[in-house]
Amino acid sequence: MKTPDPRPTAVNTPLTDTPRRRAILKQLRSHPTVKGSVIALVLLLATVLLAPFLAPQDPYNLAVLDLMDGRLSPGSASMNGFRFWLGTDSQGRDMLSAILYGLRISLTVGLSAVALATVIGSLVGLMAAYAGGLIDTLLMRLVDFILGFPTILVALVLLAMLGRGVDKVVIAIVVVQWAHYARIMRSRALQERRKEYIEAALNLGFPAWRIMLRHLLPNCLGPVMVFATIQIANAIVLEATLSFLGVGVPITEPSLGLLIANGFQYLLSGDYWISMFPGLALLLLILSINVIADRLRSALDPRST
């Protein structure tokens, strides 16, 4: 039973702007888990950006590595007094540096894959919703077709054909993921297209592209953006999975997944740090992204504001 709510909406507040964005941010900030997640994420982002400066060792520079330093436990020092705070892996790589660089790759893959998929998927969904008819049917059958395949399978096949590399991983993820965005954008755009301001735009003789991009798109971004934020975490996990399986990034540029894979064999012999610390880093990254995305979703829900 919904009691009438006569509280003033922005209508009645004086001329000073209180944009909805501010209200949403306020709601986000107020939740304690969100605060923690934002702090964690900001720290992670900072370390990732500053990785070249923070990392004591460049894990990709094979010349620096010394096999003699291999599998040293956390806190131990190398031959020349260099302290490995998180231990080393089998190649003598400093885990701390490797994790910092690995986070970089994870975030790069996550963000670029999602950005590309969002752009492609949104445009397709928008076109399908606006054009309707045959174009809509064709595009949506294509979407259905793509969504029928499990993402990992397609990614595996694609990467087998394309080879290893960060850019190829991004392509593989985008090829499957864009279809989700298309669906979401299309359903939102179908609702929005019926609204009278779109009819008004048609009535004023605006060209189709203008109505789609200037009028329809900005008002349909909400659910797509929320989905995208959640998908960043998914893309990161996907990349980690693919690298774990050995088809993602090259061995010389380990991502978190590859690090976890490398350390797997040593897990039972007691050298836990080679897998565990990358795993923890991955967990922390995904957790903070998911918490923020979840709160973003409920904050963007128009009924709550």
Partner 1 sequence: MTTQPLLAVYGLHTVFHSEEGAWPAVSGVDLSIQPGEIVGLVGESGSGKSVTGFSIFGLIDPPGEVIAGEVLFKGQNLRDLSEEQMRQLRGNRIAMIFQDPLMTLNPVLRIEEQMLEAIQTHTRVPRAQALKRCVEALEMVGIPSPEKRLRCYPHEFSGGMRQRVAIAIAMLNQPELIICDEPTTALDVTIQGQILYRMQEICRTHGTALVWITHDLGVIAELADQVAVMYAGKIVESGPVSQVLDAPAHPYTRGLLDSLPGAIQPGQRLQQISGMAPSLSNRPNGCAFQPRCSHALPQCATSEPERTTVDQRTYRCFAPLVALGPAA
Partner 2 sequence: MSHSTPPVIELRNVHKRFVKKQDLIQRALQLAGKPPEPRTVHAVNGVSLAIAPGEVLGLVGESGCGKSTLGRVVSGLHRQTEGELLYQGTAVEQLNRMGKLAYTLGVQMVFQDPQASLNPRQRLHQILGEALQVHKLAPMGEIPARIDKALAEVGLAAEYRNRLPHQLSGGQRQRVGIARALMVSPKFLVCDEPVAALDVSIQAQVINLFMDLRAQHGLTYLFISHDLGVVRHISDRVGIMYLGKIVEIAATAEIFARANHPYTQALIAEVPNVTRRKRMFVPIVGEIPSPLNPPSGCTFHPRCPLAMTRCREEVPTLEAIAPGHWSACHLNHTSA
Instruction: Name the site residues for partner 2 (rule: CB under 8 A).
Output: 9-13, 15, 17, 19-20, 195-197, 199-207, 210, 215, 218-219
Residue type, 91: Q
Shortest spacing between CB 140 and partner 2, in angstroms: 13
Shortest spacing between CB 44 and partner 1, in angstroms: 32
Shortest spacing between CB 201 and partner 2, in angstroms: 8
Q: CA–CA separation, 39 vs 133, rounded Å?
A: 48
CB-based contact 90:72 (threshold 8 Å): no
- Residues touching partner 1: how many (CB under 8 A)? 12
2 binds partner 1 (CB under 8 A): yes
Residue 60: exposure state from Cβ atoms within 10 A (0-12, 13-18, ≥19)? middle
Phi (first) and psi of residue 88, to 5 degrees: -130, 160
Nearer to partner 2, 35 or 214 (CB): 214
Q: CA–CA separation, 11 vs 23, rounded Å?
A: 15
3 binds partner 1 (CB under 8 A): yes
Q: CA–CA separation, 105 vs 284, rounded Å?
A: 15
Residue 2 interacts with, from partner 2, partner 1, none (CB under 5-8 Å by kind): partner 1
Nearer to partner 2, 23 or 276 (CB): 23
7 binds partner 1 (CB under 8 A): yes
Q: Per this entry, what is the length of the chain?
A: 305
Residue 1 interacts with, from partner 2, partner 1, none (CB under 5-8 Å by kind): partner 1
Nearest of 193, 187, 195 to residue 224 by alpha carbon: 187
Shortest spacing between CB 305 and partner 1, in angstroms: 12
Q: CA–CA separation, 269 vs 184, rounded Å?
A: 47
Shortest spacing between CB 111 and partner 2, in angstroms: 25
E strands present in the chain: none
Residue 79 interacts with, from partner 1, partner 2, none (CB under 5-8 Å by kind): none
* Residue that has been written with the tokens 């050995």 in this structure: 246
Shortest spacing between CB 9 and partner 1, in angstroms: 8
Q: CA–CA separation, 124 vs 138, rounded Å?
A: 11
Shortest spacing between CB 14 and partner 1, in angstroms: 8
Q: Which parts of 263-282 interact with partner 1 (CB under 8 A)?
A: none
The DSSP secondary structure of 272-290, one letter per residue, reads: THHHHHHHHHHHHHHHHHH
Nearest of 170, 190, 175 to residue 239 by alpha carbon: 170
303 binds partner 1 (CB under 8 A): no
Q: Which parts of 14-43 interact with partner 1 (CB under 8 A)?
A: 14
Nearer to partner 2, 17 or 32 (CB): 17
Query: Under the rule (CB under 8 A), what is the footprint of partner 1?
Result: 1-8, 11-14
